[in-house]
Amino acid sequence: MNLIRFKGDKEKALSTADLPTRGNREFAVTEDNQIIIIDSCGNYVHQTYPAVASESVINKTKFIWCIDEIKKYNKKIDNINKVFEENCEDSVYCPLSLEDTLIELLMTVFDDKHEAICFFICSLDFGEKWLPGMFMIDGKDVKLKTSEDLYDFLTGELND
């Protein structure tokens, strides 16, 4: 099972978590997606349970594959356009594509509020133009040099 974010949806988190059910207890979902147990006296039980769901979230390997496929497609279109530029003035090849749809889907799946996916692909040219300080969140520099870095940022698995 994969960890997913619940954005404060306590009922969904509780219905998908493997929790003990004995006694008069309350449950809370923390900001780091853990479920904690509060006993009838208001004391925290020291165990935490990760909020998990039965539905699958795109794993790192599949995410990187998606980003790589978008990159390969863009490279092919760029190569075709280079040929047009050399042979036909003011010509541009712009075929129909599902690229925008795939990017939008990834942004939705990963709840990409900072639009990091689009920034990584369009502004950073798949991370090739990344330099320190180019993508900041709450005053903290976020490295987006590779699709792995992007995935780690989106899933909250950043290394300091």
The model carries a pTM of: 0.60
Q: Which domain holds residue 98?
A: 60-155
Q: What is the pLDDT of residues 68-78, one digit of tens each?
A: 999 998 899 88
> Higher model confidence: residue 154 or residue 48?
154
How many domains are contained in the chain? 2
Q: What is the pLDDT of residues 106-124, one digit of tens each?
A: 998 888 999 999 999 999 9
Q: Which residues contact 29 (CB under 8 A, 6 or more apart)?
A: 6, 8, 9, 10, 13, 14, 35, 51
Statement to judge: residues 29 and 106 lie in one domain: no
The answer as to whether 3 is a domain residue is: no
Statement to judge: residues 39 and 71 lie in one domain: no
Statement to judge: residues 104 and 69 lie in one domain: yes
pLDDT band at 1 (very low <50, low <70, confident <90, very high): very low
pLDDT band at 146 (very low <50, low <70, confident <90, very high): very high
